[in-house]
Amino acid sequence: MKKKIHPENYRPVVFKDINNEILFICRSTVNTKESIKIDESIYPLYKMEISSYSHPFFTGEKKFLGKTGPAEKFKKKYEKYKKF
């Protein structure tokens, strides 16, 4: 194996999906500020907003995020001026 081809901080990292609190460990070079203790070992912790455990494409569920786009905001704003 060639030496000095991998970054020095290539290590096990805990990734946490904040939508459903699922944790998984994977080797990564991601920079983290937090850590977590699992099975008497301390790992760096990286929090994700979405992963394959919560993404609608992988779960098959449709979720409404509650955010409206500019077109919906425009329609709602000028709905009262609508003439019949």
For 28-79, write each residue's pLDDT tens digit. Answer: 999 999 999 999 999 999 998 877 777 666 566 666 555 667 777 788 888 8
In angstroms, rounded to a whole number, what is the distance separating the alpha carbons of residues 54 and 4? 36
Overall pTM > 0.75: no
pLDDT of residue 53: 73
Q: Angle at CA 23, nearest 5°, toward 35 and 49?
A: 85
Give the max Cα distance, the chain: 76
pLDDT of residue 84: 57
Domain ranges of the chain: 11-81
Q: How many CB atoms lie within 10 A of CB 60?
A: 6
pLDDT of residue 3: 83
Q: Angle at CA 4, nearest 5°, toward 6 and 30?
A: 25
Q: What is the mean pLDDT of residues 11-35?
A: 90
- As given in the structure block, the two tokens for residue 66 are 């509650």
In angstroms, rounded to a whole number, what is the distance separating the alpha carbons of residues 17 and 51? 6
